[in-house]
Each structure stands twice: as C-alpha cells, then as structure tokens.
C-alpha cells in the first residue's frame, strides 16, 4: 500500500493492591508472583451513579458491546501516553478532573513494553498500572489494561515474553472487577504479524485471563484483540489474504472465518484522521484506499472497539483534521452497516510536545488539567456531547456524516451543490 500509515473499590482493596504491586524484578519474579497471587474475591463498590455502577460488567452480543443489563453501551474517553514520558499527568486528581469535568467514562492505560517501558522497569510499571486501575475503580470508570507493543510489531516476539504472566497476574488480582478491560496487544504490525500469528498469541493469553474468572464464577472480562497493520486490517479474521504488505488492503477477498473462539472478545480499529480517511486511488479505482468505505462495511461484520484515535497524522503530530475526525465519530455513533455503536479513546491525555496531546507542554507539572491544545479542546467538546448530552454545533457537524453511496470523496457534496 502507499503507506497510509506508516501508520472501588474500597480503601482496603487499594492498600492490598499497593502491597502486592510493590517491588522490582520482572520476568521470573512476575511468573512466581502470578503463580502465588491469591485470586481476588473482593466485592466491588463503585460510586453510585458512576459509569461502572450504572453499566456493570460488559459483554459483546453479536456486533454490539452491551452492559450488564444487555443494553448497548458506548464508552468514550482517553488513552494515556506511555507514562515513562509523562507519569505526572496521571494522578487521582488529574483523572478525577477528567471524569468530573471532561465526562470520560473510560481511560486506556497504555503501558509500553519497549521504549523504556515495562521491560526496562517491570515492577515499577506493574505498580503504576495497578495504581491507575485502582484509581479508575475508585472513580467508577472503566479502564483498559493495555500491553502496548509497537516496535517490534509481532506480539509473539520473545521480547514480549512476559505477556502471559503479566495478564495472569492482572486477572488474578482483578478477577470479577467489572471496570477492568484487557487489551492484549496494541497494534500488531509488520509482515510477520499476520492474523495467524495474532490469533496464536490470543489463544495463548486469553485463557490465562479467563481462568481466574472461571474459578470464582464471574463472567469473562472484555478482551480487546489487535488486528494486523497497526489495527487497520480489522477483518483479517474473516477473509483470506488480508495481511500487511500484499497490497490487497481493502479489496473484496474470499471469506475465510477464523474468528477467535472466545465469548467476550472485540476487535480493534485505530485511526489518525489526517492519515486514515478517503485515501487515494490505485489501479484506476478512485477510492481504493478509502478507510471510511472499508470500515463502514466491517462494522456490519465484527464487533469493534477503537481504543486509540488521533486528530493528527499517524506520527501523532502534524496536521489536525477535525472534519475527518467528525466523520469517524459519526460512524462510531451508528452510521455504519451494523448500526453498531463503537467505543473510542483519544490519543492522548498528556502534555507531550506533539499535536495529538490534549494538554499544552508543561501543563501536568503545573497541574493545569484543563490547559487544552487544539486537539484537546475538540475532544473535550466531543465528550461533552457524547457522554454528557450537551449540544455543541462546533463538533460532530451534520455535513461531516459519511455517505456510503457517495463513492468518490466529496462527490455528494458536488452533486448537492449542482442541485438548483
Ligand atoms: C507515539 C507517541 C510519541 C512516541 C511514540 C513512540 O505519540 O510521542 O514518541 O509513540 O513510539 C500509534 C501507537 C502510539 C503512538 C501513536 C502516534 O499506538 O504508541 O504514539 N500511534 O504515533 N499508532 C498510531 C499512532
């Protein structure tokens, strides 16, 4: 392809977690810890009226993510940045502000494995992860435990060898806690990371996650599973030949159903609006790389969770495109072949010096939690509309709804303007 991407919990539980999440070591230490950790049987009490108190344990039903009462649920919030770069952005105070002021109901906890993350300081990262899971529980919002692989892009690479003990540890600790969601691998990428490889990895890790839930008789937690090419070839489990590098990105391919055989799994899609949009022509087909067209259809075939999106280019920086982001979010609100409501987390709640960050540089050290960038301001407004029922004509503009019948980008607009 033309490289479109380069693309609470009560106080007693908290203290218990802090002791259990303490010292440093990793690797064998974690394996041993996971083995010995008693399976948690704590009853969780979330603040009344909070998102988790309202919706409880989440369950995929067909194409739709539903709540404990079987009603469709759509979560919207943020992803953290890799906290090795801005740990001071994630405190109980900052997250409470996100809940109270920005109306998030989910926070994705992006724990990089490489690039100075978990593999460098396993127990420090484990402790940080547990601290943040506990804060989300205390505030009554959902959180995603994200094993943030990125480079290399093969989740089975030996460098990610702690995945199974990590998930075993986390699931024993949080078994039955309805606010905890597991994302087993961020963005598989590269030619090695085919659906066969990803599903082999998933078949290894998901049973580790489910086992403690089985042993206490709790419903399996929601597991978010990555898809090839940075979470873009979302239907790779449904067709033959959808893999990175074969230049067959969005063409129709023969059916070959190799979906995962677990009862609470959802597939990941990520977009960065300035890079992933109407795309470009190829082989005389004007909308060959049209991401909207592709995902409109996929959302009628698979349950999908957008655990990361940006307004910028795929680098996380560069041009910001709010109209094209509107188009994606309209699609997530149900404008798709399955009328599916898709949950979404923005990259990123941080003050890193890049255009996708929600806060301006140095905001976190000053505890200036509302010191928004252009991207942050847009996301804040969208959350106010989607999660808080506000009316705001500056975001989610009706003219930005994707119309599948308009084959060529902007064709409908052109047709409409032609009308007398
Ligand atoms: C980027 C960060 C950037 C950091 C880089 C490290 O924005 O500050 O230097 O990671 O690799 C993703 C990844 C996510 C990327 C983000 C932007 O999941 O880790 O973060 N992105 O490039 N996929 C698409 C874009």
Give, for all 420 residues of the chain, the pLDDT tens digit: 333 333 333 332 322 333 334 346 556 667 777 777 889 877 789 999 999 999 999 999 999 999 999 999 999 999 999 999 999 999 999 999 999 999 999 999 999 999 999 999 999 999 999 999 999 999 999 999 999 999 999 999 999 999 999 999 999 999 999 999 999 999 999 999 999 999 999 999 999 999 999 999 999 999 999 999 999 999 999 999 999 998 778 888 999 999 999 999 999 999 999 999 999 888 888 888 899 999 999 999 999 999 999 999 999 999 999 999 999 999 999 999 999 999 999 999 999 999 999 999 999 999 999 999 999 999 999 999 999 999 999 999 999 999 988 765 555 655 455 544
Q: How far apart are CA 332 and CA 50, in angstroms?
A: 23
Residue identifier of the C-alpha nearest atom 22 of ligand 1: 315
* Structure confidence at residue 411 (pLDDT): 56
Q: How far apart are CA 138 and CA 95, in angstroms?
A: 11
* Structure confidence at residue 12 (pLDDT): 27
Contact 88, 352 (CB under 8 A): no
Contact 83, 119 (CB under 8 A): no
**Span from the CA of 284 to the centroid of ligand 1 (angstroms):** 33
**Span from the CA of 316 to the centroid of ligand 1 (angstroms):** 6
Residue identifier of the C-alpha nearest atom 16 of ligand 1: 316
**Span from the CA of 315 to the centroid of ligand 1 (angstroms):** 6
Ligand 1 contacts CB of residue 316 (under 6 A): yes
Contact 341, 72 (CB under 8 A): yes
Contact 54, 322 (CB under 8 A): no
Q: Tokens 């990105």, residue? A: 249
What residues are labeled active site?
Answer: 187, 308
pTM for this model (two decimals): 0.92
C-alpha distances in angstroms, 418 versus 299, 400, 406, 411, 415?
A: 32, 18, 14, 11, 5
Q: How far apart are CA 354 and CA 274, in angstroms?
A: 14
DSSP state of 44: P
Contact 264, 220 (CB under 8 A): yes
């Amino acid at each position: 392809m033309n490289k479109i991407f380069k693309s609470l919990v009560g106080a007693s539980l908290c203290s218990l977690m802090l002791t259990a999440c303490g010292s440093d070591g990793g690797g064998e230490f974690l394996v041993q810890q996971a083995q010995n950790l008693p399976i948690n049987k704590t009853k969780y009490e979330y603040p009344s009226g909070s998102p988790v108190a309202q919706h409880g344990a989440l369950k995929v039903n067909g194409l739709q993510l539903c709540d404990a009462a079987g009603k469709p649920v759509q979560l919207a919030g943020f992803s953290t940045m890799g906290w090795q770069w801005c740990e001071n952005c994630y405190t109980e105070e900052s997250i409470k502000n996100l809940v109270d002021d920005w109306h998030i109901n989910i926070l994705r906890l992006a724990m990089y494995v490489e690039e100075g993350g978990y593999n460098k300081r396993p127990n420090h990262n484990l402790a940080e992860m547990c601290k943040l899971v506990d804060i989300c529980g205390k505030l009554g919002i959902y959180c995603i435990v994200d094993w943030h692989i990125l480079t290399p892009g093969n989740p089975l690479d030996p460098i990610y060898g702690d995945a199974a003990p990590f998930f075993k540890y986390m699931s024993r600790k949080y078994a039955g806690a309805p606010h905890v969601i597991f994302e087993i691998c961020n963005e598989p990428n590269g030619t090695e990371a085919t659906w066969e490889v990803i599903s082999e990895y998933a078949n290894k890790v998901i049973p580790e996650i489910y086992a403690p839930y089985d042993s206490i008789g709790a419903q399996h937690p929601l597991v978010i599973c990555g898809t090839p090419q940075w979470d873009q070839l979302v239907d790779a489990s449904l067709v033959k030949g959808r893999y990175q590098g074969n230049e067959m990105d969005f063409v129709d391919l023969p059916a070959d159903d190799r979906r995962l055989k677990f009862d609470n799994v959802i597939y990941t899609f990520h977009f960065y609006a300035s890079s992933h949009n109407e795309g470009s022509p190829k082989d005389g087909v004007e909308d060959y790389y049209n991401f909207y067209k592709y995902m409109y259809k996929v959302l009628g075939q698979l349950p999908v969770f957008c655990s990361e999106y940006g307004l910028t280019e795929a680098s996380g920086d560069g041009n910001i495109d709010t109209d094209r982001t509107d188009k994606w979010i309209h699609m997530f609100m149900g404008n798709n072949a399955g009328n599916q409501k898709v949950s979404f987390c923005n990259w990123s709640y941080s003050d890193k010096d890049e255009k996708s960050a929600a806060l301006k540089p140095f905001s976190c050290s000053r505890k200036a939690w509302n010191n928004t960038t252009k991207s942050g301001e847009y996301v804040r407004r969208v959350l106010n509309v989607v999660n808080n029922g506000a009316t705001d004509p500056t975001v989610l503009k009706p003219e930005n709804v994707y119309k599948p019948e308009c084959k060529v980008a902007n064709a409908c607009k052109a047709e409409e303007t032609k009308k007398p």
